[in-house]
Structure 1
Amino acid sequence: METARLIESLFHEGQLLAAAAAEAGPDAMVPTCPDWQVRDLLRHTGTVHRWATGFIAEGHTEYRPFGEHSELDGDELVEWFREGHGLLVAALSEAPADLQCWTFMPAPSPLAFWARRQAHETAIHRADAESARGGKPSPVTAEFAADGIAELLTGFHGRSRSRVRSEAPRSLRVRPLDTDDVWTVWVSTDVPRTEPSEEGPADCELSGTAEQLYLTLWNRLPLSAVSVAGEADLAQLWREMSAIG
């Protein structure tokens, strides 16, 4: 997706997250993040937003650790989140195209990286906030969901830190039914390798709408939310080993 559209998505998703968190209340449990309450979700996401803003606005070219989580609570915590989200959106909107700063996954540019990473960070945690609130979740476009799948498969699980491993080489295909995308993930004892193509038969295939696959691969929906064909234990292996810390 274009960087400008990702920034628009970040703005929209952050507003939805704040609204859902305010409606649910700080004590509400977050079903999609066991052991978290809404206050934990706001503190985490707000801290990530401020951390990312530092790289973008100040041009840090080396890793810097996260800051301290806010001790605010209730309405004040929601406003703290809104403030940090606004600062992030402004930093990305005002950053030059040739921005130079630290990143942690391949991207066309640091600006493109941070816009994409924070748009999907916020969208996934918006889904968490809405799970705490209950009711119908907000939709995302098929294009945005497919972009998030690509980031997860080729970015996060293209790194040595990915824990998705299999003693015997196996292949997992991911097929959205509402876009032209398809990915094949080759799982072995080495780093998973993802190809944006269909290379022969797969041991297991996950199919559904891009949105269903996006949330399922991020472990925000159960595997039953998508169609699983072939070796279901490979899908379960993904479920158990793919969490991003």
Structure 2
Amino acid sequence: MSELDPVDHLAEFERTAAEFAAVLDRADPAAAVPGCPGWTLADLALHLGSGQRWAAAILLSGTRQKVPEVLRTTISWADWYAGTTAALAAAIRAVDPDEPCWNFAPVEQRAGFWSRRRLHETVIHLVDAVQAGADADGRSASGLTVVPPRIAADGVDEVFGVFLARMLARGFAPAVTRQIGVRATDTGDEWTLTPAADGGRPRVERGKAAGEAVVSGTAAELDLCLWKRLPTGVLTVAGDPAVAAAFLAGTTTP
């Protein structure tokens, strides 16, 4: 299986989390978040920060933990969130990535899962904040410009390697019902997804894009479409458009 360009998940997590904290520092916490209907920016900060504390507790114990109750003080959302980020970064540094550690997915139970997962959780919610109009730097309202190509390609790979199986385990219908290829036009990464005969976890092959349809776009476009943060019309399709449409409409992520 072809390898992706390596990503320093911890360094990229800290960089992306700092961007999100900066958005919180200058934005209206009551702003609505289109990517998370019914949520405000404050709700988004609460969700992300609570997730950081949860992941830190899991890493330090190696076992499944409850999401901690949030006991907020009078500090700003930005400062509170930055504190949770620092706590998680310290936990990641304290635990060898190959150490056995619980995670929620039907994948290898190793500590290294969490630095990657929290990076991509933060990336998607930074996009949510930008789409909410919370970005004062004049970046694209789509959020595409806050997702570097190689980070986005790793995010696509996480969806295929973790969340396709995760959503099946949660009882959702298979998103991959016909063989389909996916191509990132800017990074050159390609995947072929082949459905399992029993409706179980699809086979994922890196290094080529083949199937009854091939869906192409930049890595960021693919990542955000899989997370339902962009309309799929930004992507191009070769082959059977019905196969591509069924895949893109499927439940690939929570």
Interval of TM-score (by shorter of Structure 1 and Structure 2): 0.7 to 0.9
Helix, strand or coil at the partner of 1:196: strand
For structure 2, the residue ranges without an aligned partner over 5 or more in a row are none
Is the Cα–Cα contact under 8 Å of residues 174 and 207 in structure 1 kept in the other structure? yes
**Could you tell me which of 228, 233, 238 is aligned with 1:219?**
228
Partner of 2:157: 150
Say if 2:10 is the partner of 1:7: yes
Is the Cα–Cα contact under 8 Å of residues 95 and 111 in structure 2 kept in the other structure? yes
1:187 deviation in Å? 4.1
**For residues 115-194 of structure 1, what are the structure 2 equivalents within 5 Å?**
115-132=115-132, 133-134=134-135, 135-136=138-139, 137=143, 138-159=145-166, 160-161=168-169, 163-165=172-174, 169-187=177-195, 190-194=199-203
Distance 1:34 1:230 in 2: 34
Say if 2:34 is the partner of 1:25: no
Partner of 1:56: 59
For structure 1, the residue ranges without an aligned partner over 5 or more in a row are none
Distance 1:150 1:194, change over 3 A: farther
Distance 1:2 1:50, change over 3 A: farther
Is the Cα–Cα contact under 8 Å of residues 182 and 209 in structure 2 kept in the other structure? no
Distance 1:186 1:175 in 2: 15
Is the Cα–Cα contact under 8 Å of residues 164 and 238 in structure 1 kept in the other structure? no
Is the Cα–Cα contact under 8 Å of residues 96 and 112 in structure 2 kept in the other structure? no
Partner of 2:39: 36
Distance 1:220 1:200 in 2: 23
- Matching residue's letter, 1:241: G
Distance 1:184 1:98, change over 3 A: closer
Is the Cα–Cα contact under 8 Å of residues 158 and 194 in structure 1 kept in the other structure? no
1:91 deviation in Å? 1.3
- Percent identity, aligned pairs only? 30
Is the Cα–Cα contact under 8 Å of residues 31 and 40 in structure 2 kept in the other structure? yes
Distance 1:221 1:70, change over 3 A: farther
1:45 deviation in Å? 0.8
Moved more, 64-73 or 109-118: 64-73
Is the Cα–Cα contact under 8 Å of residues 164 and 237 in structure 1 kept in the other structure? no
- Matching residue's letter, 1:225: V
Distance 2:46 2:79 in 1: 11
TM-score, normalized by length of structure 2? 0.81
1:198 deviation in Å? 6.8
Partner of 1:86: 86
1:12 deviation in Å? 0.7
